[in-house]
Chain A
Amino acid sequence: MHDRDAVFSELRATLVELFELDPERITPEARLYDELEIDSIDAIDLMDRLRRQTGRKIDSDRFRSVRTVSDLVDTIHQLLNET
């Protein structure tokens, strides 16, 4: 069982490292594209990274509906708790 808060803090660390973002800006409500300037190409890099971190194959379709950091946390959280 993975805890949602743990997923958030790990994701925050990943975003900071990959995109050199200020950790303060990464709030659950922050919109990935408009506020954090993470575009579709970045999303691919991010997915690669998450794939390595979680060891799970991530289907890109699941990411199309992701808008905010919180959406992303939910997606990863769901993924980790799938059997």
Chain B
Amino acid sequence: MVPPVRTAARPFRDLYYVRLVTTGLSFLLFGLGGVLLGIVVVPLLLVVPGGGAARRTRIRRMIQLAFRFFVGFAHHSGAISFSFAGAERLGRPGQLIVANHPSLMDIVLLIAFTRDACCVVKREAWRNPAMVISVSAAGYVPNAPTDLMIERAAAVLSAGECLIMFPEGTRTVLHRAMHFHRGAASVALRAARVVTPVFICVEPPSLTKAMPWYQLPVPRAHFALRVGHDIDPVAFRNGPLPIASRALNERLAATYAAEGAGNY
């Protein structure tokens, strides 16, 4: 385990060892909660009578509540802190929410604060016994193969649901320019009523791809989420799709570049 660097005579470590315990507990809660949700709660909700869409909404609501509880625990126990500006503008019908992806917490925070959200999830989740029932029952979209993902994601938006996507695909590598895959832009042009960017900044970097969970930052990580201005995809729909999706993708990349995202 790597202790924090001592920088002052009386080092400020922001309750390092307390946070180590609460961070460990948070992970434990998340792991156990996920298993409980995946093999007990969601299967029970599946047998509650009611139509497909109502059942799916109920399951998404349960996942949202579980994530909200988890985020609350991590926040109040002091493992992390977070702020979320503009969350009330998430969860509209046909809304495509795009976000940069610096940490493991991103999707948890977004789902926790978005009503009845669908999301594109990496397909490994469908091979994980603790997750497969939840992700299927919630109607989430596997990220591959790309052509099927695009069709399914567009169908979700056409049906008036709200969809969360990370155009970078995988977690951002620190201090490297962001690279947006055009999949999100293509989905947006096919079916989104509105595209809403969310800017996620984690300071200091935490739970990134390159860090083990127990290597805690000093001070504790703050996750700042901010909902940006809506982008109207109609403005990009006047040409052939390949050209239009490049233009929309560039617009998204420029929006994030202007926010300084990718340098966190």
Which residues of A does B touch, CB under 8 Å?
17-20, 38-48, 60
Contacts and interface: CB of A to CB of B under 8 A. Distances in A.
A48 B243 CA distance: 15
Interface string B180-215: 011100100000000000000000000000000000
Given A18-B240, A20-B243, A45 B145 contact: no
Contact of A18 (B145, B181, B182, B242): B242
Contacts of A19: 240, 242-243
Contact of A41 (B182, B240, B243): B182
Nearest to B187: A41
A20 B183 CA distance: 20
Interface of B: 145-147, 150, 181-183, 186, 240-243, 245
B244 to A, nearest CB: 10
Contacts of A39: 182
12 contacts: A17-B240, A18-B241, A18-B242, A18-B243, A19-B240, A19-B242, A41-B182, A41-B186, A41-B245, A44-B146, A44-B150, A48-B241
B241 A45 contact: yes
Contacts of A48: 241
Contacts of B145: 60
Please list the 7 inter-chain residue pairs (A to B) with the smallest Cβ-Cβ separation, ordered nearest first: A45-B241, A41-B182, A18-B240, A44-B147, A42-B242, A60-B147, A45-B242
Contact of A44 (B181, B186, B243): B186
Nearest to A18: B240
A interface: dominant SS: helix
A46 B243 CA distance: 12
Contacts of A43: 147
Nearest to B182: A41
Given A60-B145, A60-B147, 19 more contacts: A17-B240, A18-B241, A18-B242, A18-B243, A19-B243, A20-B243, A38-B242, A40-B146, A41-B146, A41-B150, A41-B181, A41-B182, A41-B183, A41-B186, A44-B146, A44-B150, A44-B186, A45-B241, A48-B241
Contacts of A20: 240, 243
Contacts of B240: 17-20, 45
A62 to B, nearest CB: 12
A44 B243 CA distance: 13
Nearest to A39: B182
Contacts of B242: 18-19, 38, 41-42, 45-46
Contacts of A42: 242
A18 B239 CA distance: 8
A21 to B, nearest CB: 10
A54 to B, nearest CB: 17
Nearest to B189: A45
A15 to B, nearest CB: 10
A79 B123 CA distance: 31
A46 B205 CA distance: 40
A57 to B, nearest CB: 13
Contacts of B183: 41
Nearest to A19: B242
A38 B182 CA distance: 12
Contacts of B186: 41, 44-45
A79 to B, nearest CB: 17
